[in-house]
Chains A and B, each alone.
Chain A
Amino acid sequence: MTRARLSRRLLATIAVLAAVLPVLPAAGTPQASQTFTVYAVPATVQFMNHADDRLRGMSTNPFKQKAEAVILGAGGKEKGNGPFPGDDILYGFKLFSDANRSKPAGSAMFTCYYEFVKRATCDAYFDLSRGLVLASGQVRFGGTHFTLGVTGGTKAYFGALGQVGSAPAARNAQRFDLHVTGLGR
């Protein structure tokens, strides 16, 4: 093979590599994403008032500091109706794929564990026909606008990540916008 022919072949190889490499996906890139909206209608709720547990926690606790300094309210007397730290609220929702609530899409369950200043950490799951989507995050008591992080899923939502945005909808419903990434892994 002559030097000139070798040079041409090498340059051709470089050109092919330069054209092909940019379209190869990087490792760890989310494979597929899906964005959809469901409308949630509250079905059931249970409020758990842990006042007795808080009171016991004032006298027996693992903390070093004085209980009075860290407990809300004096002598265990709580002002207002809460929710106070340690209370939890369980919400059950019926889901619909349309705002008119004519197409059932599954159910959703929120388990919210209250911390301070009426903020809760909520674990939610959306039980949809194609699988579960799990989400977690902070929700202010009575707040209708919040965003949860999608932490996982099953079946069609295997390995899901992403986020769920929430906003109020008509007729006491809640709108959930799910943006699910990492599908098809």
Chain B
Amino acid sequence: MNRRLLTALAAVAIAVALVVAVASCRGDKANKAGGAAGTNTLAAPTAATPRQSFVVYAKPKRAQFVNHADDRARGDKLKSFNAEALPTPPSANSGKKGTRAGDNALLTLTLYSDPQLRRAIGTATYSCTFNFAQEAICDGHFDVGGGTIIALGPAKLDGSDITLAVTGGTGRYAGAHGQVTSTTSGAKKTTQVFHFVLV
């Protein structure tokens, strides 16, 4: 009887301890959100969340470039804001070939699990808006393996490496965060290698 009582007491004590642990951690989170503004602080990391890392290969399928030269010209003519304080790029509408601020690039890619590009596992789309110095901000959606990974960030789209931040996802990637790095490979540099690191 005494042993049973002690076992029951132990169970209650563990349950109480767990509740206290969770409550104290929630309190920490609230303090961090509300109390750190205006200070230069770097809190020490505690437990690390396991990372998931994988590689997929891709080949471009379709591409559309949208040239907004007319919208740029109208935008330069109609001074909607204090243009004197903010200069437009000097070669915004030079007529030369190349990307200009405001142009769009839309791309779709087929994703593969192997570098030989034999086993298709999904698709990816890039919607990019160019800003300055031939750089674009790209919104990438990767439909792969029962979910979508959403990534965002700057890209040159000239074959150089791209690192986008993973901002979320759906399905098995719901709540995903991390980054994806894209490099080119193959003889003609047409194969894209996407290296995902997610938490």
Contacts and interface: CB of A to CB of B under 8 A. Distances in A.
B40 A35 contact: yes
Given A17-B14, A134-B165, A159-B178, A32 B42 contact: yes
A185 B51 contact: yes
A169 to B, nearest CB: 14
Size category of the B interface is: 35 or more
A100 interface: no
Interface residues of A, number: 73
Nearest to A159: B177
B25 A25 contact: yes
B68 interface: yes
Contacts of A142: 81
B141 to A, nearest CB: 14
B129 A88 contact: yes
Contact of A21 (B20, B33, B51, B70): B20
A138 interface: no
Given A18-B16, A159-B199, A154 B87 contact: no
Contacts of B166: 152
Nearest to A35: B36
B177 A134 contact: no
A26 B26 contact: yes
B80 A82 contact: yes
Given A81-B80, A152-B165, A35 B37 contact: yes
B24 to A, nearest CB: 5
Interface string A106-121: 0001010000000000
Most interface-central of B33, B101, B129 (chain A CB within 10 A): B101
Contacts of B174: none
B137 A82 contact: no
Contacts of A29: 25, 28-29, 46
A74 interface: no
B36 A45 contact: no
A31 B49 contact: yes
Interface in B146-199: 151-154, 163-168, 177-179, 197, 199
Interface string A69-109: 00000000000011100011111100000000000000001
Interface string B124-155: 00000101100101010000000000011110
B62 interface: no
Given A32-B46, A88-B102, A154-B165, 11 more contacts: A10-B10, A24-B21, A26-B22, A31-B45, A32-B44, A35-B39, A48-B75, A125-B153, A154-B153, A159-B199, A184-B45
Interface of B: 2-3, 6-7, 9-10, 13-14, 16-18, 20-22, 24-26, 28-29, 32-33, 36-49, 51, 68, 70-72, 74-81, 83, 85-89, 92, 101-102, 129, 131-132, 135, 137, 139, 151-154, 163-168, 177-179, 197, 199
12 contacts: A7-B6, A25-B47, A32-B43, A46-B75, A47-B83, A49-B78, A52-B71, A87-B75, A155-B163, A158-B197, A159-B199, A183-B45
Interface of A: 3, 6-7, 10-11, 13-14, 17-18, 21-26, 29-37, 42, 44-53, 81-83, 87-92, 109, 111, 123, 125, 127, 132, 134, 136, 141-142, 151-155, 157-161, 165, 172, 177, 179, 181-185
Listed from nearest, the 4 A-B pairs whose CB atoms lie closest are A184-B45, A152-B165, A47-B75, A49-B74
